Amino acid sequence: MNLTFDFDDAAVNGARMKVVGVGGAGGNAVTRMIREGLTGVDFVAINTDEQALDYCAASTKIRIGTKTTQGLGAGADPNKGHKAIEEDKNTVYDALTNSDLVFVTAGMGGGTGTGAAPVVAQIARDVGALTVGVVTKPFLFEGPKRMQRAEEGIAALKEYVDTLIVIPNQRLLTIVPVDTPLEKAFRFADEILFNATKGISDLITIPGLVNLDFADVRTVMSEMGDALMGCGLARGENRAKVAAEMAINSPLLEDVSIAGALGLLVNITGGPNMTLSEVNTASTIVSEAAGRNANIIFGAVIDKAIEDEIRITVIATGLNRTHPKIKPGGPIAWSQAGTIKDNA
């Protein structure tokens, strides 16, 4: 086990937020967020692979499962990932203590992310944090076994998070050009994870035209279950209208209408020239699409680095609240076949 702490002072004055990258894909996503300048949060990387952990830019790094994996990774085996996190649960608990909001990000289908992320989420709930899972599903070309492991991991994770956002990598094929190199396509998946996390955290940490606080975010994300994310970006004339329509019709929404959502978190980001009228236009479009039953929380953020753009992120929550929640503290067990069993 290897642990270092170096928390971001920028997060001290407001809600304490942590982004926890679990496994290789989770660590890559964290590194991307740091390099893109995401502020106001603390970053934690958790991995069985010592070499991958060294590469990650997170200031807090926890190597798990020294006895189980000898620092060589989980070998695409969620059982090993689960055993590894069990070895070092207390260390992870200490790292997450006093958190108000914890993002658990991972690529599902491998060993460490799939096996350990549900336990990390369980710990986050145990310390009293609002817990949001932001994970990816594999491309179809990665094979049916990896997809099966991913589905099982997502089912386990769902029991321990307040809200779960699943980004299907396969849907990226409808967004990126057909000649996109493979490495760039995976980086684009990291960017989607970054946008989801930034879209939520910016509403809390960055002052704007319309301000939100942590209580607002908790209102639409606590105990909400399945969630989907849509993004829109537009420039020039009618940019607010175009960006809003892109967000509510995003390919990442998997053809599911936001009209069924119980909660909506909407981040409208623009440069210093963004007007209140544009915020009103975008808000109206999203509100009308959501319907009367949704609890909608809007925030408008000014980003001086943006010139002629308006960027809109929509998180639709409570889309399928049919699964029973396991109380924090309930154990997880993996069968030898990789199927998750609830032993609560």
Same domain, 179 and 237: no
Q: Is residue 47 part of a domain?
A: yes
161 and 243 belong to one structural domain: no
How far is Cα 17 from Cα 42, in angstroms, rounded to an integer? Answer: 6
Q: Are 160 and 121 in contact (CB under 8 A)?
A: yes
Q: What is the CATH number of the domain that holds 235?
A: 3.30.1330.20
CATH number of the domain within which 62 lies: 3.40.50.1440
Residues 102 and 194 in one domain: yes
Report the number of distinct structural domains present in the chain.
Answer: 2
Alpha carbon of 243 to those of 167, 232, 249, 258, 312: distances in Å? Answer: 20, 4, 10, 16, 6
Whether 254 and 112 map to the same domain: the answer is no
Q: Considering only 149-163, 191-205, 232-246, 268-282, which range has the smallest mean pLDDT?
A: 191-205
Q: pLDDT tens digits, residue range 129-185?
A: 999 999 999 988 889 999 999 999 999 999 999 989 888 888 877 777 888 887 887
**Top-confidence residue, 6 or 244:** 244
Beta strands in the chain (DSSP E): 2-4, 17-22, 42-47, 60-63, 101-107, 130-137, 163-168, 208-210, 225-235, 263-270, 295-302, 309-317, 332-334, 340-342
Strands (E), 35-162: 42-47, 60-63, 101-107, 130-137
**Is 206 domain-assigned?**
no
Instruction: Print the domain residue range for 141.
Output: 2-201
Tokens for 305? 């680095």
Do 295 and 172 share a structural domain? no
In a domain, 323, yes or no: no
Same domain, 134 and 10: yes
- Same structural domain, 44 and 118: yes
* Statement to judge: residues 196 and 277 lie in one domain: no
Six-digit token string for 107:
């690529």
Please check whether residues 155 and 298 belong to one and the same domain: no
Residue 338 has pLDDT above 60, yes or no: no
In the predicted model, is pLDDT for residue 334 greater than 70? no
Task: Examine the domain organization and report whether 133 and 272 are in the same domain.
Answer: no
Q: What would the pLDDT profile of 270-298 be if each residue is shown by its tens digit?
A: 998 999 899 999 999 998 988 888 888 88
Residue 64 counted as domain residue: yes
Summary mean pLDDT of the chain: 82
